[in-house]
Structure 1
Amino acid sequence: MRVVLASASPARLAVLRAAGLDPLVERSDVDEDALLATMPEATTGELVTMLAGAKATTVARQIAGDHPDALVIGCDSMLHIDGTSVGKPADAAEARQRWKAMAGRTGELVTGHAVLRLAEGEIDRVAEGHATTTVRFGEPTDAELTAYLATGEPLAVAGAFTLDGLGGWFVEGIHGDPSNVIGISLPLVRRLLAGVGVSPVQLWAREPQRTG
C-alpha cells in the first residue's frame, strides 16, 4: 500500500522514514489564508485539523490516478500562545518579535492530522485528529537570536522554532509527544491508521533503524 505524505516538510518526512515508512511526497497548493478566514471562531486544534484534511484531500485527488489504493497523510501545525494561534512567520522581523514574546515562557504546539484511505481512486475512509505538546522556551541572547534568524530556519516552521534543528538549542523542555513538535505525531498517526483499518507495521518498508 503506497503511503503519500501531503507535505513538503523534510522534518515530517524524516520522522516517517525513521519509523520505517518510505512515503511518496506530494505538496498541496491549498490556500491556507482563505480557509482560515472561513473559521474565525475556531480553536487552534480545529484550525490545524481542518487544514490537514484540506491538504490530504487535495493530494488524494492529485494522485488517485497513479495510486488508486494509497494512504494519504496530511498535517498542519500552529503554536498557541497568549490566546493566539500562529503559523510560520512572514519575515525575520516577525520571527524576532515572536521570539521576544515567547522567550522564557511556554506555548502549545498543536498539529492537525488527517489520514485518508483510497480505494479504486476514491476516498473510502477518513480519520482526523490533533495532538498538543507543551513547549518551554529558553531565552536566547540577542546575538544568538540574530544568528538563528540569519539561518532562515525560523521562517520555514510554525512558531518560528524547531525541536530537531538549530532551534533545539533554545528549547528548555517539552511535555507531551516530541514527534508532534517536529510536525507529525507518531502515536496519533498510529491511532488514525487504525481508524482506516491499517496498522503501521503493515507499512514498514524495512526494519526501523536502531541506535545505541
Structure 2
Amino acid sequence: MGVSRIDAVGSGPRFVLGSASPARLQVLRSAGVQPMVRVSQVDEDAVAAALPAATPPEGVVTALARAKAEAVAAALIADADPVVADCVVVGCDSMLLMDGELQGKPHTPDVARARWAQMAGRSADLLTGHCVLRLDEARIVAQAADCSTTTVHFAKPEPEELDAYIATGEPLQVAGAFTLDSRGGWFVERIDGDPSSVIGIGLPLVRRLLGDVGVGIAQLWAVGAQLGADSAR
C-alpha cells in the first residue's frame, strides 16, 4: 500500500505518540484522537550536542523531535509490533527561546528560580518541534517535520507564589519552567500564537504535517471512535 488518503470513514492509521507527556496525551484525547504512547528514551542533550554549532533554534527542536520519532519507529519495527502495519509516529520537543538562549527543562529548584527571575514580566518564544513518520508494513514511507513558535508574555509572580509553585515540582520537568494548562497558567498574561503548541503538541501544525504524509484528521477521529467503542465493550 502506498501513502494515500483513505476516504472511507472508519479506516486509517493508528496514531503513536512518542512522548511521556501527560499534557500532550490529554490534548490529543480532547481533540478526538486515541494515541498509543511509546516513549523514545532519546538522550536530548547528546542529540543537541551533536548538531552543528550554527544550527538555528528552530532546527534544534525539530532535530530533537525527529530523533524521538525515529527512535520510537525503530523500536516498534524491531519489536514487530502489529501497529507498524499502518501508523503515524509523532515526536515533539519544546524549548523556550529567551535572550537568544534555548532553555529546556530546569530539573532543579535553583535553575527554575533563576529562569523565573529572567522571565518574570517579560516575553519569550516557546518553540515546539514536530516530526511525523508514516509507517506502512514496517517501513517508513513518508515523513514531515517543522517547528511552531508562540510568544508567551509572563506575569510577575509574588515571591511567595513562586516559592509555592516551585515547591510543587511542576516547573522542574517542563520546558521553560512553566505550563499553560496547569499551575503555571496563573503566571501567563497572554500568548501570541497557538496555545496547543505551548502545551506541547501544536494541533494546527500536526494537522498539516499529517496531511503531508497522507493522513487526514477525519481518519484519526474514526480510528479513535472505534478504539473507544472497543474499550467500552
* 1:117 and 2:134 are equivalent in the alignment: yes
TM-score by length of 2: 0.87
Residues 134-182 of structure 1, C-alpha deviation per residue, up to 9 Å, x if partnerless?
A: 0000000110000000000001100000000000000000000000100
* 1:206 and 2:218 are equivalent in the alignment: no
Alignment of 1:78-89 (within 5 A): 78-89=95-106
Residues 166-208 of structure 1, C-alpha deviation per residue, up to 9 Å, x if partnerless?
A: 000000000000001000000000000000001111101139x
Comparing 115-124 and 198-207, the one that deviates more:
198-207
Cα distance in 2 between the residues matched to 1:44 and 1:14: 27
Alignment of 1:48-197 (within 5 A): 48-64=61-77, 65-66=80-81, 67-68=83-84, 69-197=86-214
Measure how far apart 1:26 and its partner are.
0.4
* 1:30 and 2:42 are equivalent in the alignment: yes
**Runs of at least 5 residues in structure 2 that lack an aligned partner in the other structure:** 1-12, 227-233
Residues 95-150 of structure 1, C-alpha deviation per residue, up to 9 Å, x if partnerless?
A: 00000111000000000000000011011100000000000000001100000000
* 1:10 and 2:22 are equivalent in the alignment: yes
Match of 1:43 among 53, 56, 78: 56
Cα distance in 2 between the residues matched to 1:186 and 1:206: 18
Measure how far apart 1:63 and its partner are.
1.4
Q: Which runs of 4+ in 1 moved over 6 A?
A: none
Could you say which residue in structure 1 is the equivalent of 2:3? none
> What is the total number of aligned residue pairs between the two structures?
207
**Runs of at least 5 residues in structure 1 that lack an aligned partner in the other structure:** 208-212
Cα distance in 2 between the residues matched to 1:96 and 1:200: 40
Cα distance in 2 between the residues matched to 1:60 and 1:43: 26
Matched AA of 2:70: T
Q: Which has the larger radius of gyration?
A: 2
Contact 2:107–2:173 at 8 Å: present in 1 too? Answer: no
Q: Secondary structure at the match of 1:163?
A: coil
Alignment root-mean-square deviation, CA: 1.0
Q: Secondary structure at the match of 1:11?
A: helix
Matched AA of 2:134: R
Residues 48-72 of structure 1, C-alpha deviation per residue, up to 9 Å, x if partnerless?
A: 1000000000001111321222110
Matched AA of 2:164: A
Cα distance in 1 between the residues matched to 2:58 and 2:27: 21
Matched AA of 1:32: E
Matched AA of 2:54: E
